[in-house]
Amino acid sequence: MTYKIGKIIAIYLIATGIGFLVSSEYYSKMIANSSSDPVLINLSGMVHFFIGMIILVNHFLWKNALQIIVTLLGLMFFLKGFFLIIFPEFILQSAGNTVKYPLAMPMGFIGVGIILGYLVFFKEGKSN
């Protein structure tokens, strides 16, 4: 299960990072947008919440580094969704701010995606 979930998350992170690089102007405007639609914020929270819960319900494993990474990413999805639903104003406080380090976010997504991808695609072991 670790490798299956890890493959999905790795590709998602790499695609997201590339999206931030290729469409950086769009995402910079989106991050700085202070007039977010409450329905879209709630839907985003719901999606993050469900993805995180699906990962955590099926994969709450802490035996090795790869299992810990996948579980922590599931926890991060869950927490983002939880807080977007419960405290949307607090989570969206960054709206209206300019992006200070425009390459940091995409490089972070791509970096984590590549590391995770390497571990799940090229180091796949017998114990899943």
What digits encode the pLDDT tens for the residues 74-85? 999 999 999 999
What is the DSSP secondary structure assignment for residue 34, as one 8-state letter? S
Take residue 71 and report the two structure tokens written for it.
């579980």
Q: DSSP of 107-128, one letter per residue?
A: HHHHHHHHHHHIIIIIS--S--
> What pLDDT does residue 41 have?
85
Confidence (pLDDT) at 112: 95
Boundaries of every domain in the chain: 2-122
How far apart are alpha carbons 10 and 66 in whole angstroms?
12
Tokens representing residue 14 in the block: 């790499």
What value, to the nearest 5°, has the Cα angle with vertex 17 and ends 89 and 52?
55
Per-residue pLDDT tens digits for 64-75: 999 999 999 999
Please report how many Cα atoms fall inside a 13 Å half-sphere around the Cα of residue 97, on the Cβ side. 8
Residues of the chain below pLDDT 70: 31-35, 91-101, 124-128
pLDDT of residue 94: 58
Distance CA 71, CA 59 (A): 6
